[in-house]
């Protein structure tokens, strides 16, 4: 059996070798190749390749016409290539401008001069919206970063969600439906840059966190010992700053839904708070007549002493400049490098019975030379900052009746929203009985 096994294996090897010999191809013989009975040379092959690239030419085409046709085709290809290069260059330029803008904004040196492009609005550009859920004075307003949503709060404990594009109500949180969460007058509302979180405060010591898309309650922050007066998100983050009548500023992280830190310094209840991209917050101290910039990373603060009276409002124009409003009617423009105002406008909204009208609200178009102020003189005044922030000129007035308790521009500066009511947002010192509570929407026309 062993011999037969080896014989079989041997025969297989022989067959394999035979097969290998059969597969070998004969060597090519040197000589001309024939194609359809004709000899094919290298020049013929070049002609065939050239004819494949070119367009089929007409029988009656002359040599000059052929040159002209090929030249036109070549120019068309060049135009396509240059158009593509130009498009790529435009994209690169846009990216470069965006990076430069972000850098200047971070450093507080971005400045967009748009004041001279604004046209004075007509009566048709001002629209008043009133809903039954806001039974009492509106106290605050905030707008999403993409300018698609607006939220307003009122003294009756109601928060309403608005569509900016459709200019209609999308939903509401009322005191009746959320009696365990909403406790009295809404003092402040704020929305994060990515529109992921909405926060609100009322006459309690709590801060409520909501989902802006569904208006579902997500969390409640507790820690302040008195009424929360202001809320603001640090731009492009989920870091929240809150101010209170307990004279403190608290920092919260909404990523972890946790308390971070408390800042002390003011000697009276804090009336207003604002923040931008830097890890800083700015507050007005009311009767202590001071403005404080809280440098959180450095664990220090800058103190600015304002005019006599109560400093009720403060708003950042950019990272390096801000504007304040007082109950003595004065508007002040400041620089973080100066302890005194760069410019002061006394009695910016006039006086009544020889008493200056209070500045009840401020709104700024971020990183521009435009800001607006509100009082109870039946108009919102829009101002232009010029001469390196050392001069403020009136731009135009918007006829709006009532206490203007909140002002905010949309991101593109083409609309202004104002929360208006019969009373001041912080009390009932006097009432304008003929005024209706509601939201004013102003279309701002910009020259192109």
The predicted pLDDT at position 72 comes to 87
Check pLDDT > 50 for residue 114: yes
* Residue 48 to residue 32: CA distance in whole angstroms: 18
pLDDT in tens, 297-347: 999 999 999 888 899 999 999 999 999 999 999 999 999 999 999 999 999
Q: What percent of the chain has pLDDT over 90?
A: 63
Tokens 């410019």 sit on residue: 343
| pTM for this predicted structure | 0.78
Average pLDDT, the chain: 85
* Residue 419 to residue 417: CA distance in whole angstroms: 7
* Residue 220 to residue 206: CA distance in whole angstroms: 7
The predicted pLDDT at position 345 comes to 95
What is the three-class DSSP state of 262?
Answer: strand
Give a three-class secondary structure readout of 391-446.
Answer: EEEEEEEEECCCEEEEEEECCCCCEEEEEEECCCCCCCCCCCCCCCCEEEEEECEE
Check pLDDT > 80 for residue 37: no
* Residue 378 to residue 404: CA distance in whole angstroms: 9
Angle at 408 between CA 403 and CA 414, to 5 degrees: 120
Check pLDDT > 60 for residue 277: yes
């Amino acid at each position: 059996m062993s011999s037969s096994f080896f014989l079989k294996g041997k025969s297989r090897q022989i067959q394999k070798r035979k097969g290998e010999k059969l597969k070998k191809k004969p060597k090519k013989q040197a000589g001309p190749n024939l194609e359809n009975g004709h000899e094919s040379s290298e020049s013929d092959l070049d002609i065939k390749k050239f004819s494949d690239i070119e367009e089929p030419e007409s029988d009656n085409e002359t040599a000059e016409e052929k040159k002209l046709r090929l030249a036109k085709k070549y120019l068309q290809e060049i135009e396509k290539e240059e158009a593509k290069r130009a498009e790529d260059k435009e994209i690169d330029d846009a990216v470069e401008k965006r990076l430069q803008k972000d850098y200047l904004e971070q450093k507080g040196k971005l400045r967009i001069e748009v004041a001279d492009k604004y046209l004075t609005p007509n009566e048709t550009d001002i629209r008043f919206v009133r809903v039954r859920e806001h039974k009492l004075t509106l106290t605050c307003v905030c707008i999403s970063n993409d300018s698609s949503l607006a939220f307003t709060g009122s003294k009756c404990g109601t928060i309403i969600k608005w569509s900016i594009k459709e200019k209609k109500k999308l939903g509401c949180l009322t005191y009746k439906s959320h009696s365990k969460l909403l406790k009295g007058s809404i003092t402040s509302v704020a929305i994060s840059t990515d529109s992921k979180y909405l926060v609100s405060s009322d006459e309690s010591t709590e801060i409520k966190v909501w989902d802006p898309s569904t208006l579902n309650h997500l969390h409640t922050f507790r820690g302040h010992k008195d009424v929360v007066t202001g809320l603001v998100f640090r731009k492009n983050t989920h870091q929240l700053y809150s101010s209170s009548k307990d004279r403190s500023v608290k920092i919260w992280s909404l990523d972890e839904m946790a308390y971070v830190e408390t800042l002390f310094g003011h000697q009276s209840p804090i009336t207003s708070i604002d923040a931008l991209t830097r890890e800083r917050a700015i507050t007005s101290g009311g009767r202590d007549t001071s403005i404080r910039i809280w440098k959180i990373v450095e664990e220090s603060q800058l103190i600015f002493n304002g005019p006599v009276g109560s400093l009720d409002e403060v708003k950042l124009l950019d990272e390096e400049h801000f504007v304040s409003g007082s109950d003595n009617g004065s508007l002040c423009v400041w620089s973080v490098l100066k302890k005194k105002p760069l410019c002061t406008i006394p009695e910016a909204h006039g006086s009544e019975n020889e008493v200056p009208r209070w500045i009840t609200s401020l709104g700024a178009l971020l990183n521009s030379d435009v800001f607006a102020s509100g009082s109870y003189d039946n108009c919102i005044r829009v101002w232009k900052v010029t001469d390196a922030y050392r001069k403020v000129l009136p731009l135009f007035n918007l006829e709006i009746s009532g206490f203007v308790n909140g002002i905010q521009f949309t991101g593109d500066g083409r609309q202004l929203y104002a929360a208006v009511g019969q009373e001041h947002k912080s009390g009932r010192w006097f009432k304008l009985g003929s005024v209706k509570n509601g939201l004013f929407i102003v279309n701002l026309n910009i020259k192109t």
